[in-house]
Chains A and B, each alone.
Chain A
């Protein structure tokens, strides 16, 4: 009987994941990953309730339950990375980093070390391992422009529920990690998952989905960042005329395409089209068609391919989580890849990830330069 360590967060998805694997006959151990949080003096740690819920479900299922403490590593690999990226004027995606560095690296290693054969999480994605069989025609219905190649190892495929598909967050996971990973929820939709959790009477069945990045918590990104980075007021400048339109409280807080919170009064809404971290200036426009808001060519660095470098060809890409898949042709460059989009995309933001698909297969991706 294979031993699976399931990352249990106290939410409905990971709860059902553990339940399903147990039903499938695995020897399941639930693991709560203790990540970094800000402790406020005199207050009960906010994640204690999540942990208790995870443990409740483990007890309900009669499975072992453990706590893995990744606080220090999480702080370093995810939080510090995020602050550093924002400080450099980019808009990072800490969830992707968390998957790459914590869940599918530290957790996997710690689980294997502890005696697990496999790990599992409640992500909406599918792993296809071994010699790849032909894809399920339904999953493949997004019309792969290229014939699938059989590979040994493991492929990452989009979830059945395209609305919930989380492969965008998983594109930096390695093939060897995927070989040891189960995503039992990949073949279900969210409503199905809720129903199944309810049918099994899982304690977390009715819980609301968590929102946002856990460690930023209730305070919001702006407040969070201001605790780590010194910010000062600067000018909001009309990109076209060069006129100073108003003041901002730190260029770090602004991101491409942003409309709200600019505090520039009157007339048409302004959008952020750029910023200079050196000059602490934010550039805005009222022109929805501004060239800086739209990109047809995207350069990616820090590229990660799950199953090796794909051919230069046309693929479907996604510029943010749940964004529509759009067509682009891929060209390898010295520093990464260049994507030439069929149609221009709005607000493709430096620091964010672009993920590349071949039909249902997530090939990998990179970070927008």
Chain B
């Protein structure tokens, strides 16, 4: 079934890996117990759950006790922002969940240029004495551009030193949503230098509505969901054992395959990019082309209505994303593309093509042909009406 589709939207969702699914299955059946129950059968499930947490911790270079399992990345981000009491700094190209969470605080949203990369100096300039959180995604979900998290970590360290010196006791945390980078980038928390990191299983061939927040022991978050006191009291609710076990399997596989998969995707992406740019010399590539995820290609065909391309390609089982305004609402153009200063015509003609494990040489070639065909048809049609 998955062999028949040409899926170029891995940034939106990924299919659950067969082995991930197999690892989850027992917990829907014979191992369905509530991990909090007292009998030994349930205690075994509790052990499996904690062992999955340990696997996850290992994949990000953290301790198991520093990880709070959540229902997806949005919840994780909301929880991360609970650590902030004062001012928040984030960038204009962040995911809606980050922007919405930041807007609950006094906040500064820094502008981002056409490179699609937040400048560390701009973040630094936005930090005030009252700033308690900086949140920038490791990789942008639309452009695939990789953000300078380590540079931000250095800034945070410097601010902390200054505050210590001045006797300012306001804590400052660096948070990153690394969901888009898993499987392609290094997500070892120590190397990134962050204080909090969000991840989403649904982007890494694991189940949807499973995610986590990693926090450094010094970070204090406020539970957003209270109840039975699971996850160290920071996230109540019966543990999603199957989901977390699947997440662990998914992360382990992602790190095993990281190097080879990154190289493979880059080759396919570069091929696709070359095909489209050669066929349409007026096409616009957005975001820094060096510092971007290897499976990401953001390309625009100015004057073409990309929503029409989506509807045309879906009939060939080719699935792509667009940052264009949906016809329903002119105000729904991608805020990311607007933030980096793209013209409305460029935004409305934009496709986000994200390759991943479903991409093969053969279907990427077919995808290039289908997209070229669709774009040509649309160009011809819109010229005809003019």
Chain A contact residues, CB within 8 Å of chain B: 32, 45, 47-48, 51-52, 55-56, 59-60, 62, 64-65, 67
Interface membership of B385, Cβ < 8 A: yes
A60 with B326: CB separation less than 8 A:
no
Q: A51-B328, A56-B311, A62-B381 are in contact. List 11 more A-B contacts (CB 8 A).
A: A32-B327, A45-B328, A48-B328, A52-B311, A52-B326, A52-B327, A52-B328, A55-B308, A64-B385, A65-B308, A67-B328
Q: Report how far A64 CA is from B311 CA in the complex, Å.
A: 13
Known contacts: A55-B308, A55-B311. The answer to whether A65 contacts B329 by CB under 8 A is: no
A45 with B311: CB separation less than 8 A:
no
Interface membership of B307, Cβ < 8 A: yes
A62 with B327: CB separation less than 8 A:
no
A55 with B385: CB separation less than 8 A:
no
B312 with A45: CB separation less than 8 A:
no
Please give me the residue from chain A that is nearest to B381 by CB atom.
A62
Residue in B326, B328, B329, B377 whose CB lies within 8 Å of A62? B377
Interface membership of B260, Cβ < 8 A: no
Q: Report how far A14 CA is from B77 CA in the complex, Å.
A: 44
Please give me the residue from chain B that is nearest to A60 by CB atom.
B315
B327 with A65: CB separation less than 8 A:
yes
Interface string of B306-328 (1 = CB under 8 A from A): 01100110010000000000111
Q: Report how far A110 CA is from B377 CA in the complex, Å.
A: 27
Q: Report how far A32 CA is from B381 CA in the complex, Å.
A: 19
Q: CB-CB < 8 A to B312: which residues of A?
A: 59
A47 with B328: CB separation less than 8 A:
yes
A67 with B381: CB separation less than 8 A:
no
Please give me the residue from chain B that is nearest to A64 by CB atom.
B385
Residue in B307, B315, B329 whose CB lies within 8 Å of A55? B307
B327 with A45: CB separation less than 8 A:
no
Q: CB-CB < 8 A to B308: which residues of A?
A: 55, 59, 65
Q: Report how far A51 CA is from B332 CA in the complex, Å.
A: 14
Minimum distance in angstroms from B140 CB to a CB of chain A: 23
Within 8 A of A (CB), among B299-349: 307-308, 311-312, 315, 326-329
Interface string of B169-196 (1 = CB under 8 A from A): 0000000000000000000000000000
Known contacts: A59-B311, A60-B311. The answer to whether A48 contacts B377 by CB under 8 A is: no
Q: Report how far A221 CA is from B329 CA in the complex, Å.
A: 26
Of A45, A51, A56, A60, most B-chain CB atoms within 10 Å: A56
Q: CB-CB < 8 A to B311: which residues of A?
A: 52, 55-56, 59-60
Q: CB-CB < 8 A to A45: which residues of B?
A: 328-329
Minimum distance in angstroms from B100 CB to a CB of chain A: 10
Q: CB-CB < 8 A to A56: which residues of B?
A: 311
List 8 tightest A-B contacts by C-beta distance, closest first.
Answer: A48-B328, A59-B311, A51-B328, A56-B311, A59-B308, A55-B327, A59-B312, A51-B327
Please give me the residue from chain A that is nearest to B308 by CB atom.
A59
Q: Report how far A56 CA is from B309 CA in the complex, Å.
A: 10
Q: CB-CB < 8 A to A62: which residues of B?
A: 377, 381
Of B308, B328, B377, most A-chain CB atoms within 10 Å: B328
Minimum distance in angstroms from B306 CB to a CB of chain A: 11
Within 8 A of A (CB), among B359-386: 377, 381, 385
Q: CB-CB < 8 A to B385: which residues of A?
A: 64
Q: CB-CB < 8 A to A60: which residues of B?
A: 311, 315
Minimum distance in angstroms from A336 CB to a CB of chain B: 42
Known contacts: A59-B308, A62-B377, A62-B381. The answer to whether A48 contacts B315 by CB under 8 A is: no
Q: Report how far A301 CA is from B101 CA in the complex, Å.
A: 57
Q: CB-CB < 8 A to A32: which residues of B?
A: 327
Please give me the residue from chain B that is nearest to A44 by CB atom.
B328
User: What are 30 A-B contacts defined by CB distance under 8 Å?
Assistant: A32-B327, A45-B328, A45-B329, A47-B328, A48-B326, A48-B328, A48-B329, A51-B326, A51-B327, A51-B328, A52-B311, A52-B326, A52-B327, A52-B328, A55-B307, A55-B308, A55-B311, A55-B327, A56-B311, A59-B308, A59-B311, A59-B312, A60-B311, A62-B377, A62-B381, A64-B381, A64-B385, A65-B308, A65-B327, A67-B327
Minimum distance in angstroms from A70 CB to a CB of chain B: 14
Please give me the residue from chain B that is nearest to A56 by CB atom.
B311
Minimum distance in angstroms from B328 CB to a CB of chain A: 4
Q: Report how far A52 CA is from B381 CA in the complex, Å.
A: 19
Q: CB-CB < 8 A to B315: which residues of A?
A: 60
Q: CB-CB < 8 A to B327: which residues of A?
A: 32, 51-52, 55, 65, 67
Please give me the residue from chain A that is nearest to B385 by CB atom.
A64
Of A32, A59, A62, A64, most B-chain CB atoms within 10 Å: A59
Minimum distance in angstroms from A54 CB to a CB of chain B: 8
Q: Report how far A48 CA is from B329 CA in the complex, Å.
A: 8
Please give me the residue from chain A that is nearest to B377 by CB atom.
A62
Q: Report how far A64 CA is from B378 CA in the complex, Å.
A: 10
Q: CB-CB < 8 A to A67: which residues of B?
A: 327-328
Q: Report how far A64 CA is from B308 CA in the complex, Å.
A: 10
Minimum distance in angstroms from B270 CB to a CB of chain A: 29
Q: CB-CB < 8 A to A47: which residues of B?
A: 328
Interface string of B197-234 (1 = CB under 8 A from A): 00000000000000000000000000000000000000
Q: CB-CB < 8 A to A59: which residues of B?
A: 308, 311-312
Of B308, B311, B326, B377, most A-chain CB atoms within 10 Å: B311
Q: CB-CB < 8 A to B326: which residues of A?
A: 48, 51-52
Minimum distance in angstroms from A181 CB to a CB of chain B: 23
Q: CB-CB < 8 A to A48: which residues of B?
A: 326, 328-329
Q: Report how far A233 CA is from B377 CA in the complex, Å.
A: 62
Q: Report how far A139 CA is from B73 CA in the complex, Å.
A: 62
Please give me the residue from chain A that is nearest to B311 by CB atom.
A59
Q: Report how far A47 CA is from B327 CA in the complex, Å.
A: 11
Minimum distance in angstroms from B40 CB to a CB of chain A: 46
Please give me the residue from chain B that is nearest to A59 by CB atom.
B311
Minimum distance in angstroms from A19 CB to a CB of chain B: 15
